[in-house]
Amino acid sequence: MKNIGRIVLVLLSLLSCGNHYQLPEKHISTVEVEHLLEDSLLNVRALEVVKETNGAYFLASNGKAGHIYNSDTDNSLNIVYPISMAPDSVKNNFRSLAITSKNGFGLSIESPARLYKIKKDEKKLVYQENHPKVFYDALDFWNDQEGIAIGDPTEACLSVIITRDGGNSWFKILCENLPKAKEGEAAFAASDTNIAIVGEHTWVATGGKSSRILYSPDKGETWQAFETPIIQGTETTGMYSIDFYDAKLGFAIGGDYTKPEANVANKIRTSDGGKTWRVVASGANPGYRSCVQYVPESNGKKLVAVGFNGIDVSNDAGETWKHVSDDSFYTIRFVNDSIAYAAGAGKVSKLHFK
């Protein structure tokens, strides 16, 4: 009995607030890929989770939309595709999508760039821009009322449009209020992850001959630019994707999609809110990847990167990586710490990380 008492006391002391006892952290080591929709003509770079159903919504390069949702009766996944966004005579190539608690928003890339407000069966055109150089890359929202989209320069700065009224109207920020673009600086519409938002903080990843961070601390009211050490210098190099775990810790990935095996200086990390960046895992795989996302509830330690050469995971904030699948994807979004949706050429899938 005395020994049992001692064991109980030891267990209580380990579980007390003074010792902060925790179980060993579980690492991601494998992924199971469940293909939900396969179509050789499908090309998806715009994908977002629908929190209410743990499902997803996506937009394709053919101008169509798709909806993945859970059945109320047996909790099975249902897929509706294709969903028309505009008359067939209107040709949209969608690369950007954002979802608030009230509406969805889809943005096409080239002139005329069209931004639609999506609510159930209603699709309303809320912004259009005609310009020979117009090319929009990413879209995101700070809250239900305020959102931002970014695109390649049509003048001396990146294109930045803002809404403050729930997406009903949008205005373009004047170049005099934005950092001047460097020669050959633009952005990549590879995965709709050029923008990262935490609270009122906003980071925009540029790429090309110059690859920088454009940062706003106040939801797009003021801006400044920070240099990065990622590979850059040609039109196909630089950051393709950025994500922030909190207001300080962020990660960016890219490289050169024309040299997908190249892995030198294509992964960078910040711990000071994007002001300074450090190259990590240089000369080690993965090479070019089009999207990187932090795993939720991972203390900023777990990352997943996808691209047309497969899926890679890191359990140590990007210092080392493990290749877990050759399945090709352009973009990925997490539902929770073990389930994500991913999309790319020919498919939309559900990923189970273990």
pLDDT value of position 131: 98
Residue 68, burial from CB neighbour count under 10 angstroms (0-12, 13-18, 19+): buried
pLDDT value of position 3: 52
pLDDT tier at 180 (50, 70, 90 boundaries)? very high
Backbone angles phi, psi at 11, to 5 degrees: -65, -40
Per-residue pLDDT reduced to its tens digit, 132-151: 999 999 999 999 999 999 99
Rounded distance between C-alpha atoms, residue 289 and residue 306, angstroms: 6
Hey, how many other C-beta atoms are within 10 angstroms of the C-beta on 341? 26
| pLDDT exceeds 80 at position 295 | yes
CA 338, 334, 142, 174 dihedral sign is positive
pLDDT value of position 25: 75
Backbone angles phi, psi at 2, to 5 degrees: -60, -40
Comparing 199 with 2, the larger pLDDT belongs to: 199
Per-residue pLDDT reduced to its tens digit, 222-262: 999 999 999 999 999 999 999 999 999 999 999 999 999 99
pLDDT value of position 124: 97
Rounded distance between C-alpha atoms, residue 48 and residue 335, angstroms: 10
CB 290 within 8 A of CB 310: no
pLDDT value of position 75: 74
Per-residue pLDDT reduced to its tens digit, 17-72: 444 444 567 899 999 999 999 999 999 999 999 998 889 999 999 999 999 998 77
Rounded distance between C-alpha atoms, residue 25 and residue 28, angstroms: 10
Segment 186-192 shows an average pLDDT of 98
pLDDT value of position 15: 43
pLDDT value of position 16: 44
Segment 200-210 shows an average pLDDT of 98
pLDDT value of position 300: 98
pLDDT value of position 24: 61
| pLDDT exceeds 90 at position 5 | no
Smallest CA-to-CA distance from 291 within 138, 104, 65 is with: 138
Residue 322, burial from CB neighbour count under 10 angstroms (0-12, 13-18, 19+): middle
pLDDT value of position 247: 98
* Cβ contacts of 252 within 8 Å, gap of 6 or more: 205, 213, 228, 230, 239, 241, 242, 243, 267, 268, 269, 277, 292
Per-residue pLDDT reduced to its tens digit, 299-353: 999 999 999 999 999 999 999 999 999 999 999 999 999 999 999 999 999 999 9
Segment 292-296 shows an average pLDDT of 98
Per-residue pLDDT reduced to its tens digit, 191-200: 999 999 999 9
Instruction: Find the helix or strand (DSSP H, E) in which 2 lies.
Output: helix 2-15
Rounded distance between C-alpha atoms, residue 18 and residue 20, angstroms: 6
pLDDT value of position 26: 87
pLDDT value of position 92: 98
